[in-house]
Amino acid sequence: MGTIYERFVRPLLFQLDPETAHHLAVRCLELSSLAPSIWQLVQAKPDPRLSKDLFGLHFPNPIGLAAGFDKNAVALPAWAGLGFGFAEVGTITSVRQDGNPKPRIFRIPESEALINRLGFNNEGAERIALRLEGLKKSGRWPRIPVGINLGKSRTVPLEKAAEDYGRAFKSLSHLGDYFVLNVSSPNTPGLRQLQERDAIKELFSVVGSEAAGKPILVKIAPDLDWRQVESVLEMAESQGLNGVIATNTTTDHTAIPARFRTEGGLSGLPLRRRAMEVLQFVKERSKLPVISVGGIMSAEEALRRLDIGADLVQIYTGFIYRGPGLIREILKGFPAELKSLEPPG
């Protein structure tokens, strides 16, 4: 499947504007989600050896879809059908917003990378909640954990950010299996300031008080210095958060040719080294579970993250460049490396 995608499907998609191609792909997956029988015919039987229990949830396998692809949660059955062990939707804000001006997604094929400056474009928490409620009632809800990634509304000042996240969480709290506080996107002005000690403490406190048993994670930037990472970890542990997602996109574009550099967050292969460094740092200094994301473009890289200590991994840009075959490639690579999934001792 990977070969078919890379030889035939990707060249066609890459002839389109990146955002147009993205909308086309999501629309196709959305339509296929209306007929679950399609996925029942092609979906491989889960290998119980690859399952993972974490946050009180059961993950059929440790490979997840990262936030940003299915922003409005329109294709959940398809993600399970493609073989993902979990899917994270969003980023979702308390109110609908259009995001930044176009163009706002840029491919860098020679680096297997993307730059995006989308700016949390989404339909808003209340409308997405109605969609997810309808999906549950239809009986098409996927049998994989569903994460919901929450962000700050652009029109809300930083001093009101905690309340804004809280409003979004209340609208969706009965629907997600776990929730992620996205305080690390580079595309909402001032957002990364929420990673500073006092701001993040307030945010964790407000959302944590409403959690009602739902796992809450924080997604951090790869551009933090080690002191800042330690501060986030300290606050996460003291406020009872359940885990960390490391990392978001980077504003450091030195790893790509100068002609491709533009405003926005860089993802894909150039992020691999830094994402791995942050993963190692977090695992050495915290007992919190970690979902590793950033630069996972092959089965070898996914296994490497798990060997370092990641509890789960997520892909996004790798899915765009390699297609559904990447998921199958990773899953096939696991049997010889099952020790990487076993708990210590």
Residues 179 and 166 sit within 8 Å (Cβ to Cβ): no
Annotated active-site positions, please?
A: 185
Give whole-number Cα distances, 192 to 73, 129, 200, 222, in Å.
24, 26, 10, 11
Phi, psi of 43 (to 5 degrees): -75, 130
Nearest to 252 by CA among 230, 277, 233, 232: 277
Q: Is the peptide bond preceding residue 270 cis, with omega within 30 degrees of 0? A: no
Nearest to 147 by CA among 30, 24, 245, 44: 245
Distance CA 117, CA 109 (A): 18
Element (H, E) at 86: strand 86-92
Distance CA 250, CA 241 (A): 24
Strand residues in 97-254 grouped as ranges (E): 105-108, 113-116, 146-150, 178-182, 216-220, 243-246
Distance CA 337, CA 340 (A): 6
Distance CA 139, CA 34 (A): 11
Give the chain's radius of gyration (CA, Å): 19
Element (H, E) at 293: strand 290-293
Distance CA 276, CA 296 (A): 10
Residues 318 and 268 sit within 8 Å (Cβ to Cβ): yes
Residues 319 and 296 sit within 8 Å (Cβ to Cβ): no
Distance CA 80, CA 40 (A): 10
